[in-house]
Amino acid sequence: MTCCEGWTSCNGVCLLVLLLLGVVINAVPLIVNLLEEDQFFQNPISCFEWWFPGIIGAGLMVIPATTMSLAARKRACCNNRTGMFLSSVFNVITVIGAVYCMLVSLQALSEGPLVCNSQGNGTANCEFSFKNLSDIHPESFQLQWFFSNSCVPHAGFNNPTSNDTTAQHAIIHFSVFLGLLLVGILELLFGLSQIIIGFLGCLCGVSRRSRIV
């Protein structure tokens, strides 16, 4: 196995781990929301998770590249120039998915959870678009909603534990989208590296399976 095949195999394992991690992290606020009584359609945490940055961006869009890269472990699909070329092409999809995951996560971190939005808790605050991304300012990433007292209790919580609930939602939101941001960054790096390695393997060739006499 050449270094190109070895790196491709390593990329496949890493992408598989990140893929599963992205799906699990994305599912956390959905599960928490489902477990909260009468709150499924009034999610106080966020609604950016419904853009599925971890399930679609860091998950489904990474499957083709992961499958092709893992084939290098058995010296199958990637044991030829065409296979290495395809591994590069499929990782372009991985890069697109990773960028999507990162952009949604960045906007979610900038906006904060619905429960911390003093302008209201409507789902319109979670609209994802490139226009909204262009309106984000550097001070947005100081996470003032998390590190200050700007987080207000959800309008539907009129009990003594509302402040604790609000804090829990803020922590979940911060943890989930910070985790998805890191997953997206790592997938982007692995995807870009495999694009380069795949083209090198296509140009330089790979090892051949020896025949058994």
Does residue 135 lie within any of the structural domains? Answer: yes
What pLDDT sits at residue 144?
A: 67
Where residue 71 falls among pLDDT bands split at 50, 70, 90?
A: confident
CA distance 16 to 62: 8
Closest among 138, 115, 139, 137 to 126, alpha carbons compared? 115
Is position 211 within any domain? no
* DSSP code for 43: -
Q: Looking at the domain assignment, is residue 212 inside a domain?
A: no
Q: What is the pLDDT of residues 163-195, one digit of tens each?
A: 666 778 888 889 999 999 999 999 999 999 999
Judge whether 210 lies within some domain.
Answer: no
Least Cα distance to 50 among 123, 106, 120, 99 occurs for 123
What mean pLDDT is predicted for residues 202-209? 63
Average pLDDT (45-54) is 84
Distance between CA atoms of residues 194 and 191, nearest Å: 5
Q: Please tell me which residue, 112 or 21, carries the higher pLDDT value.
A: 21
Q: Render pLDDT for 96-155 as a digit per residue (tens, 0 to 9).
A: 999 999 999 988 888 888 777 655 445 556 766 666 655 655 555 566 667 765 565 544
Residue 198 located in a structural domain: yes
For range 76-92, the mean pLDDT: 77
Work out the mean pLDDT of the chain and round it to a whole number: 76
Q: What is the pLDDT of residue 34?
A: 77
Domain count, the chain: 1
Buried b (16+ CB within 10 A) or exposed e, 154-192: beebeeeebeebbeebbebbbebbbbbbbbbbbbbebbe
Residue 54 sits in which domain range? 3-153+160-204
Is residue 213, in this structure, part of any structural domain at all?
Answer: no
